[in-house]
Structure 1
Amino acid sequence: MRLEITGVSVEVAGRRLVHDVTLTAGSGRLIGLVGPNGSGKSTLLRCVYRALRPAAGAVRLDGTDLHALTAREAARRLAALPQEGGTDFDFTAAEVVAMGRLPHQRGSGAPSAADREICARALERVGADHLAHRGFLGLSGGEKQRVLIARALAQEPRVLVLDEPTNHLDIAQQLEVLALVRDSRLTVLAALHDLNLAAVHCDELYVLAGGRIAASGPPHDVLTPKLLAEVFGVRAHRVPHPETGAVQLLFDRLTENARTSV
């Protein structure tokens, strides 16, 4: 399923935080959204998963305006893992994952045998099946994140929107989660802080700065020392990954002398 963001601007409390953003995520592609804190990444994603309405522009799935769909219809197409995702009630991990099946249920909403099987597979895929009967609030940050990703997968969406999905995960778990997301064959739009993870796992990157797109394209073309100095205020050294050849970055503070040379 193709995700298109066309000319989207977002206002919160009378202040425009996102300005005329256009972005395309082709079917089955993993698109990374990167930028410094406060650049508008989470605000844009909240518009995509319908927590906010755009002040201008549209978000479309295969040409259909996402905000014109009912909540159930939208949830059957798109699942989201926001930064503030979770629950304040101590459901078990299995019960949290089962919430992903709600858009597909009718009547009383009691999960069917098929629903339970889908949820069990989702927990297994993220390596969290052993947590099924644990209370969600008692889990570590990384364990909670795995369960929430399983909930999104159990929703069986065509598009997945992730806001910092590797938060609270150790490095092995970060690599596993992003590999899982890639292997899902879903259309994925993910905000990521770690530029090296983004460079390895994303098909394309969109760089946000001040609520506007500063650059877009394949990671190798986008993550240049000049752009990283201008947008992130750091001095970057590019090196190839020894196995994949993907661009990887080493960082230094950007001194005044370095600012004038990039």
Structure 2
Amino acid sequence: MRIDITGLSVEVAGRRLVHDITLSAASGRLIGLVGPNGSGKSTLLRCVYRALRPTAGTVRLDGRDLHAMTAREGARLLAALPQEAGTDFDFTAAEVVAMGRLPHQRGSGRASAADTGICARALSRVGAAHLADRGFLSLSGGEKQRVLIARALAQEPRVLVLDEPTNHLDIAQQLEILALVRGGGGSPTEPAERPTVLTALHDLNLAAVHCDELHVIAGGRIAASGTPYDVLTPELLADVFGVRAHRVRHPESGALQLLFDRLDTPPSPPPS
């Protein structure tokens, strides 16, 4: 499912947080948003998953205005993992994941055997099946994150919006979750097509490896767009992030990777 964000701006308390952003994500692509803290990434994503109504502009899914859809219709198409997500009530992990099936349920809203199976498979796919009967509030930060990702997968969306999905995860879990999302995490059964994914990431190396395209956001505006190799240049990283970057290739995969120094660190002398 294609995402088109057109002329999107957000103003809060007289302050413009996002300025006239336009970007698209083709169906099945993994699109990354990167930028410094406070640059507007989360504000933009909140407009996409309808936690915030933009001051101007539109978000469209396959040409349809997302904000004109009913809540149920939108939730059948799009699932979100906000940066600060959770629950104040001590549901079990299985009950939290089951919330992802609510947009698909009718009448009494009681879970069917099919719903229960979808939720169990979603927990298994994120490596959290053993947490099913644990109280959500008793879980560690990483365990909570995996349960919330399972809830999004159980929703069987065609679009996934993820705000820092690797928060609280160790490095192995980060790689597993991003590979899962990239490989077709939209359905915990056997997904016929990849979901379209729009995600904010802090780790530029993860973004370089896993994203098809990147949009660099600075000061609420898009500073650069393109493939990770085209976007993550030393010049842009110095200008936007204030770091000196060295571009290298992964010795096995050949993927772009970045090494960083402080901008005021003098260059190392060449080896003798």
**Normalising TM by the smaller chain, what interval?**
over 0.9
Task: Give me the TM-score of the superposition, normalised by structure 2.
Answer: 0.93
Aligned AA for 2:68?
A
Shift of residue 54, structure 1, vs aligned partner = 1.1
Please give the alpha-carbon distance, in whole angstroms, between the structure 2 residues aligned to 1:124 and 1:4.
32
* Residue in 2 that maps onto 1:60: 60
1:206 paired residue among 198, 210, 215: 215
Please give the alpha-carbon distance, in whole angstroms, between the structure 2 residues aligned to 1:86 and 1:211.
27
Q: Secondary structure at the match of 1:67?
A: helix
Aligned AA for 1:156?
E
Please give the alpha-carbon distance, in whole angstroms, between the structure 2 residues aligned to 1:212 and 1:257.
31
Shift of residue 13, structure 1, vs aligned partner = 2.1
Identity value in percent: 85
Please give the alpha-carbon distance, in whole angstroms, between the structure 1 residues aligned to 2:145 and 2:178.
12
* Residue in 1 that maps onto 2:104: 104
Shift of residue 255, structure 1, vs aligned partner = 1.3
- After superposing on structure 2, the runs of 4+ consecutive aligned residues of structure 1 that deviate more than 4 Å are none
Cα deviation, 1:184-208, whole Å, max 9, x if unaligned, reads 1110000000000000000000000
Cα deviation, 1:129-153, whole Å, max 9, x if unaligned, reads 1110000000111110000000000
* Residue in 2 that maps onto 1:253: 262
Cα deviation, 1:8-28, whole Å, max 9, x if unaligned, reads 001122211000101111101
Q: Secondary structure at the match of 1:4?
A: strand
Q: Secondary structure at the match of 2:225?
A: strand
Q: Secondary structure at the match of 2:117?
A: helix
Root-mean-square deviation (Å): 1.0
Q: Secondary structure at the match of 1:100?
A: helix
Aligned AA for 2:145?
Q
Shift of residue 89, structure 1, vs aligned partner = 0.5
1:221 aligns with 2:230: yes
* Residue in 1 that maps onto 2:82: 82
Q: Secondary structure at the match of 1:244?
A: coil
Please give the alpha-carbon distance, in whole angstroms, between the structure 2 residues aligned to 1:216 and 1:145.
29
- Number of aligned residue pairs: give it: 258
Please give the alpha-carbon distance, in whole angstroms, between the structure 2 residues aligned to 1:214 and 1:245.
26
* Residue in 2 that maps onto 1:177: 177
User: After the TM superposition, which residues 68-217 of structure 1 pair with which residues of structure 2 at under 5 Å, given as runs?
Assistant: 68-184=68-184, 185-217=194-226
Q: Secondary structure at the match of 2:90?
A: coil
Q: Secondary structure at the match of 2:109?
A: coil
Aligned AA for 1:211?
G
Please give the alpha-carbon distance, in whole angstroms, between the structure 1 residues aligned to 2:254 and 2:213.
16
Please give the alpha-carbon distance, in whole angstroms, between the structure 2 residues aligned to 1:170 and 1:252.
23
Please give the alpha-carbon distance, in whole angstroms, between the structure 2 residues aligned to 1:107 and 1:15.
44
How has the CA–CA distance of structure 1 residues 241 and 257 changed in structure 2, closer, same or farther, with 3 Å as cutoff?
closer
Aligned AA for 1:54?
P
Please give the alpha-carbon distance, in whole angstroms, between the structure 2 residues aligned to 1:177 and 1:189.
14
Cα deviation, 1:93-150, whole Å, max 9, x if unaligned, reads 0000000001011122111111101101100111111110000000111110000000
Shift of residue 243, structure 1, vs aligned partner = 1.8
Please give the alpha-carbon distance, in whole angstroms, between the structure 2 residues aligned to 1:156 and 1:218.
27
Please give the alpha-carbon distance, in whole angstroms, between the structure 2 residues aligned to 1:230 and 1:76.
40
Please give the alpha-carbon distance, in whole angstroms, between the structure 2 residues aligned to 1:148 and 1:81.
7
Q: Secondary structure at the match of 1:227?
A: helix
1:235 aligns with 2:253: no
Task: Give me the TM-score of the superposition, normalised by structure 1.
Answer: 0.97
Please give the alpha-carbon distance, in whole angstroms, between the structure 2 residues aligned to 1:171 and 1:154.
24
Shift of residue 256, structure 1, vs aligned partner = 8.5
